[in-house]
A and B are shown apart, each in its own frame.
Chain A
């Protein structure tokens, strides 16, 4: 089939052309999902405050860009500033600890002032999807309704292009995005210390709980900082997703979410 013609329908003689890999096990176990995986070859993007590439817990970056304002427009430029806050470095370190051989990319969208952050997040996310990164970690959200629709479109676009968006949820009284969208994987915190303990939530919109309380994370200057927040739970799921994708690169975001569900600790996944 030509890539130029969208597959809105399926003709009888085209059925063979969309044969799917039929290598699913009888039971999806953690061993099948992530056993012996190091995340090798998987591109994980940290959309945040930048990443300190030289940090020993980050272990280098495959690429690093910043989204800036050029007049009223946004522009993606090489990032020579690193991390302006420490938060992106923390997220990158968590991903690296779980998936040591993945390729970490940094897209800095924070740090140039509070005004206009929504535009920078949108442009940064667009860039990450266009680059084809398989996983984008979003330990951030926006409450601006004017961005919700555009973010929703981007999240759906990512979903269909096999880019998994992993977003931290939050429990504030105001609606925020993109974590509430069904096309992303939303993550809250549990109180346990094991990075390989994660729970599927039967009562969404928060879909998974991962480690997010009282953990030592990479911070500016090569050091570590003891932190708490859903911001640190999301990169755990991003790292785990990298492990799955390294072993099963053809999985779609829908299938990845199912694998995370079937291997969650409360689904008997740790057994």
Chain B
């Protein structure tokens, strides 16, 4: 990839919409659910400021209802996965009445089996991938654990994109008046620019705007 292409990719990534990132995460949880033949799969994002986990994508049970729902970051099993960086499989959650009560109160759905994998980006744990109620006709194997962690890596990248996109938009919206509009115009012009030099000049302008916002 040339430098120009990298810069164009970076700019388009920055400006990708919340919907695009959400669609990516949704696709990831849909696939996770399918791979493990599970009733549900979710991605949680850690909200550092509030120290809470937030549902960002849900496939299956709770789909469309749980997005945005929050709970404390380190008291439940998903929280434990997050803070210890350790994948965890639990196969009879209903044996823990406290868990069942908490789940019922918060989501209305009481799963019996959970696969939780931390979502790691660089040296930070940014969330958790959770797969609920896979078939329990045989134990979870070490190979499946490897698959889950590989898949979590993909989910971590998707979640990180969503997080970065939000930060970039917040920065633009919180910046000086009109900055977001300028960037949007640059992005639109970039899309239409057929000459490579035009594209480069537009990107340089975009960089200048971003530097002023830093």
Contact = CB atoms under 8 A, between A and B. Distances in A.
Interface string B137-156: 00111100110010011000
Interface string B115-155: 00110111111000000000000011110011001001100
A85 B120 contact: no
A197 interface: no
Interface stretch (A60-68, A151-159, A225-233, A244-252): A225-233
B84 to A, nearest CB: 4
Contacts of B46: 114
Given A223-B95, A227-B91, A85 B139 contact: no
B86 A228 contact: no
Interface residues of B, number: 45
A213 B142 contact: yes
A71 interface: no
Interface of B is mostly: mixed
A114 B73 contact: yes
Interface in A79-124: 84-87, 110-115, 117
Given A114-B79, A174-B122, A225-B96, A213 B90 contact: no
Closest 6 CB pairs of A and B: A214-B139, A228-B89, A140-B84, A114-B73, A226-B91, A113-B51
Given A110-B80, A114-B125, A142-B85, 19 more contacts: A84-B75, A86-B99, A87-B88, A110-B83, A111-B74, A113-B51, A114-B46, A114-B73, A115-B48, A140-B84, A170-B149, A172-B87, A172-B117, A173-B120, A174-B122, A176-B85, A223-B96, A227-B89, A229-B86
Interface of B: 46, 48, 51, 72-77, 79-80, 82-93, 95-99, 117-118, 120-125, 139-142, 145-146, 149, 152-153
16 contacts: A85-B74, A85-B80, A86-B99, A110-B84, A114-B73, A117-B83, A141-B86, A144-B123, A145-B123, A190-B142, A213-B141, A219-B95, A226-B91, A227-B88, A229-B87, A229-B145
